[in-house]
Chain A
Amino acid sequence: MVFKLNNHLLSRIASSNGHGEDSPYFEGWKAYDSNPHHPMENPNGIIQMGLAENQLSFDLIQDWLKNNPKASICTPEGVNEFREIAIFQDYHGLPEFRNAVAKFMAKVRGNKVTFDPDRVVMNGGATGAHETIAFCLADPGEAFLVPTPYYPGFDRDLRWRTGVKLIPVDSESSNNFKVTREALENAYEMAKLDNIKVKGLLITNPSNPLGTMLDRETLRSIVRFINEKNIHLVCDEIYAATVFRQPEFISIAEIVQEDIECNLNLVHIVYSLSKDMGFPGLRVGIIYSYNDAVVSCARKMSSFGLVSSQTQYMIASMLSDDEFVGKFIRESKTRMAARHRVFTDGLAQASIKCLETSNAGLFLWMDLRGLLKENTFEAEMALWRVIIHEVKLNVSPGCSFHCTEPGWFRVCIANMDDQTMEVALSRIRTFVNKDHVDTKKPKRTLRWQGSLKLSSPRIYDDFINSPHSPLPQSPLVLARN
């Protein structure tokens, strides 16, 4: 059925491009979707390395499910619980779910902190959690500071329907993209000059796309900063369990326990099971706030994105199995470490360096500055197109993360099997050895007009967004169709 599009006015939100999908970067996704790599059926296809999924430890989960059929209310073994769970739509969530999540969050942080189950609020994935937190903390036109480079989805999640602005806090490679007090102050002052009210600071720790963690001193400095300015601090810790090497992960929950002055009403954590456990389809997002009013408000708002009670029940079951959880966290880290090592070694053989401080995340932050024709974002885009169309890898260019220095790329390494990883590495080696640099002009000119001066943060109202695909499918799913 085809319907003629009439001139029916939709809302400003609907007509805007705040969904973030109108960017040239879609080239990468489209290219992948039209020619996806499959070991048997399409070995020359494009390998998806732009999707931060954790596929390394499914076998452990599958084993657990096989041995615990009661965890699913839709099986003959679990169906006794079906009716009660199927009608449960209380936005407080199943108590056993909240308890299990609180316990899991503590375990992931090495039990150095505890979490109160009554502060655990569900949401439709971290995506829903971020939007909800923005709705709770800021009015339209107000802003959050966000250190660059940052996850491109924030542009949509925090801004699209909320009307909230994001102000980048720049970082540079010279100090491994650390978040500095100076940069925070700078961004805050610039906002003031533009008459924009800053309501909070959003940090991602461990960082996407850097794959690094914030050290204790930086975290303390951030806590001091937000308290001085009396603004909120939202800590996205969705990669907490992916820290696979020393130093150990330090959560903001740990910092506020220490001897430091802090108004706890300012501190909020966003969490999810999508990365740590590899369950993005289950939509388990969590807001954990130390602020009672925020807990209460977020909980009411969670009506718009509750976690399916069927899923809550299964997760509660799984995460209350202490032995399984311990084993999973340990084994997951080990496999991450191994994958990381193989990849960084493989890249090193091609003389490609990655951010050396990285010890977390499902990706590497690759330094390809040496391959740029010139130190510009046009050159970065040109190189990116070559990587997609000739090397046949979909990686994510740094400018989609608002990186201020051209030449950095995020490459995801945990969303494929060992065989595919080897193929990817060999393609990279071949490409680098050919010393192939694309001299073609990019097909479209960039809309983004930012200056490259690191000391003047810009407000990205109209910018190019990430290739966050409308079809974030794993290669395995795509291969089936």
Chain B
Amino acid sequence: MAIEIEQPTVELSKVAVSETHGEDSPYFAGWKAHDEDPYDESSNSSGVIQMGLAENQVSFDMLEEYLEQNSEASSWAEGAPGFRENALFQDYHGLKSFRQAMASFMEKIRGGRAKFDPDRIVLTAGATAANELLTFILADPGDALLVPTPYYPGFDRDLRWRTGVKIVPIHCDSSNNFQVTLEAMEAAYMHAVAMNIKVRGVLITNPSNPLGATIQRSVLEEILDFAKRKNIHVVSDEIYSGSTFSSSEFVSIAEILEARGYKDSERVHIVYSLSKDLGLPGFRVGTIYSYNDKVVTTARRMSSFSLISSQTQHVLASMLSDKKFTEKYIKTNRERLRKRYEMIIQGLKTAGIECLKGNAGLFCWMNLSPLLETPTREGELALWNSILHEVKINISPGSSCHCSEPGWFRVCFANMSETTLDVALKRIHSFMDQRKTDAIQSPPQQ
């Protein structure tokens, strides 16, 4: 065995020792609590129910059914003739059939209201890689992206950690349902300027995580016009586009560009993924769709660091080019998510809890501000902690999403069975009842 010598440790890089990976936030602390005591219908019915994970588990049966009936999709079982070619395929352009299938799937999701060119599709291992990659391409270290709050906590790592790029928040609040306003964008931009930071783009998530709502057409137009005036990029993360409860309510930035005849579209880039709409986060399927040739070329080269497994491309190419299957899937998935959403909204309502009116996504944006001891971030975290330990559900506090108003929480509803959701709602009900009782018995001091 090597004789270990006492040495001052060689430093790792600054990136390595920084905390920008973001894992010390409450967003992840709740996960740890869940992992230590996970709910299970039969074996641990008093465990922590995970409602902090935006997964889509409502439509697996359709995928499984497809695979059972189309074993040539994964043709290796029968003599594996395609295996060799597939295993050798590492071209960063990606399997053409897969890109075509993705383009067609993205078109279907948007009800055919926008066209996608397969040659503009760049494949990456998940939207995580796509967002980081785009940031490397659009901004230099020290520059900033404007991001509306509240936003997906993972952006702090994905957009900033290894890139050295900053996020400057565009503050949104409940007065107008957290919609992005021109004033807020201007304010964020000026704030960056005042700090001597160069703004390179706006990154929006549409439908929004954590709000669970689509961005209105007029707001999208405003964002595009703002970007044009400032001569900056627009990144539209549309990974929940297939999870809108009705097809007609989602307006993609692609539609607006098409309506504008693609004028000034080189500044626009769309991120998509199959992790949410198809419920396949493990497969690591992300895409960048850019209207800018140089970005497409550069992104393609950079995707070398995070290509999609050719095995996965192969099986999904088959599945997503099956028009009958995709039509049925998209329609049914939407239906089921909508039902889930109604179930949880109703359940919360009867418990006396209001949510933001949502129309998409795998979660709802819950307003617990009336329950806060103090209308502060600390108050919110205290409430979150008691919900975690007393109600035994893990939900995501708004502060981890950089929400400027305390008291809002994101609650996921698609990563469990209906039965489990029922259990969660019952627990929340009891918790709220208990609170009412406590309030009556010990009214707040005047």
Contacts and interface: CB of A to CB of B under 8 A. Distances in A.
A184 interface: no
A473 B87 CA distance: 11
Interface string A1-37: 1011110111111100001010000000000000000
B7 interface: yes
B136 interface: yes
A13 B125 contact: no
A479 to B, nearest CB: 10
A1 B262 contact: yes
Nearest to A138: B13
Interface stretch (A124-132, A353-361, A364-372): A124-132
B60 interface: yes
A311 B125 contact: no
B77 A75 contact: yes
A241 to B, nearest CB: 16
Contacts of A247: none
B118 to A, nearest CB: 11
Given A3-B265, A87-B282, A261-B2, A19 B301 contact: yes
Contact of B129 (A260, A305, A473): A305
A307 B310 CA distance: 11
A82 B21 CA distance: 30
B74 A72 contact: yes
Contact of A8 (B93, B266, B306): B266
A260 B284 contact: no
Interface in A279-311: 279-283, 293-294, 297, 300-301, 303-311
B89 A305 contact: no
Contact of B302 (A19, A281, A471): A19
Interface string B136-161: 11111101000000000000011000
B64 A227 contact: no
Contacts of A10: 137-138, 294-295, 298
Interface residues of A, number: 97
B67 A309 contact: no
A401 interface: no
B264 A6 contact: yes
Nearest to A136: B16
A53 B74 CA distance: 23
B136 A86 contact: no
B125 A304 contact: yes
A85 interface: yes
Interface in B102-158: 115, 117, 125-126, 128-129, 132, 136-141, 143, 157-158
A193 interface: no
Interface stretch (A211-219, A262-270, A434-442, A446-454): A262-270
A86 B83 CA distance: 21
A254 to B, nearest CB: 11
Nearest to B69: A76
Nearest to B163: A161
Given A87-B282, A135-B13, A308-B311, A279 B87 contact: yes
B298 A280 contact: no
23 contacts: A8-B233, A11-B143, A14-B138, A14-B298, A19-B298, A61-B87, A72-B76, A74-B315, A79-B67, A83-B60, A87-B279, A125-B304, A232-B10, A274-B90, A280-B89, A281-B87, A283-B308, A301-B162, A306-B126, A307-B309, A310-B311, A311-B311, A477-B88
Report the 10 A-B pairs with minimum CB-CB distance, sorted nearest first.
Answer: A309-B282, A281-B310, A308-B309, A74-B74, A69-B77, A262-B2, A305-B306, A280-B90, A89-B281, A281-B89
